[in-house]
Structure 1
């Protein structure tokens, strides 16, 4: 299936070059990548032009699924980006739970928190 593009590839490349020069934060990258995705470009194309893997593009877009408190926590550096992505994959109630547990210091490290988020997601998928 061919995707209809809202503007040309050279325009997309120019936008991405400007964004790269500005060193966008992860959520701003996600917003940009979502716009380009919705404009008809694939994650593979966006990644190639931005110098990242297609999975990086997908992860940044999925990071936008964080509830507002989660987005703020990532932007302010209170939640690591990778953990934020795992939390973004959860429903709203479980996002609140994970954010509260992280803020309280309930986890030994970020890996334990990621594993917890992954387990919650797996449990909710099989329910």
Structure 2
């Protein structure tokens, strides 16, 4: 009996969940030596094509070995809805290779695109709603920080304090991350707990609020126009954190000139 020929297409959302896009060398060698030991999971689409749901890494390895779709061991499911396709894919992915919290977050985001609520996702996956929300929150982090979490360099528990600095900018978030990393590597320095990270964030946000209040009251730096200004220990002295220019808060005179007049 001739093999069924069909087009195997890649699901546009599922393919985004994992960062790994190239052929895994170890898996390639294993399949070349032992053959395909686990089948791929796919669903048949209304147009007759077959859409891959699970086994993308094995698919890449088999394709690199010159295998066509009809030569691969594929379990093709019939009448699978879009929602069920994502749930099947997530279940199969977590069985075969642990997914990082960021990767799970991407999967949950795909489900939200299909109008699934956090409550529905949690119910269908058998996890708590906070579990789903916490992983979705990770996607609010800059890409660089997501990659550090995927690589296990930054624990997921630090996500919330890092996200709180979003209003200040990515630079502030990355500086906090560097201190967290230093705390893991250096016994005497850096940030060593989530509580410490929250304390640093509180102080940073308070400083930013103070700078905004001062800029609203006394205006930006006369030298460079920055609003990153602060009050010095000397009375009536305001200093720019960016260019270090100092001036009298009322007269706007450069501080050196103000001192000469005294």
> Which TM class, normalised by the smaller chain length?
0.7 to 0.9
Unpaired runs of 5+ in structure 2?
Answer: 1-80, 184-189, 213-262
Say how many residue pairs are matched.
120
Q: How high is the TM-score relative to the length of structure 2? A: 0.40
Where does residue 109 of structure 1 map in the other structure?
193
Where does residue 72 of structure 1 map in the other structure?
147
> Deviations 1:35-59 (Å, cap 9, x if unpaired)?
1011110111111121211121111
Shift of 1:9: 4.2
Shift of 1:122: 6.3
Q: How far apart, in 1, do the equivalents of 2:153 and 2:106 lie? A: 20
Moved more, 23-32 or 95-104: 95-104
Tell me, yes or no, if the aligned pair for 2:162 and 2:176 is still in contact at 8 Å.
Answer: yes
Query: What SS is found at the alignment partner of 2:152?
Result: coil
Q: How far apart, in 1, do the equivalents of 2:203 and 2:99 lie? A: 30
Q: 1:120 to 1:82 in 2, by over 3 A?
A: farther
**Relative contact order: is structure 1 or structure 2 higher (C-alpha 8 Å, sep ≥ 6)?**
1
- 1:1-127 superposed matches below 5 A: 7-21=81-95, 22-91=97-166, 92-105=170-183, 106-117=190-201, 119=202, 123=206
Q: If each structure's helix is expressed as a fraction of its own residues, which one has the higher value?
A: 1
Poorly superposed stretches of 4+, deviation over 4 Å: 120-125
Moved more, 40-49 or 11-20: 11-20
Q: If each structure's strand is expressed as a fraction of its own residues, which one has the higher value?
A: 2
Unpaired runs of 5+ in structure 1?
Answer: 1-6
In our comparison, the structure showing a higher alpha carbon Rg is 2
> Deviations 1:72-113 (Å, cap 9, x if unpaired)?
221121110111343134312321121122123222334322
Q: How far apart, in 1, do the equivalents of 2:164 and 2:138 lie? A: 8
Tell me, yes or no, if the aligned pair for 2:122 and 2:128 is still in contact at 8 Å.
Answer: yes
Where does residue 3 of structure 1 map in the other structure?
none
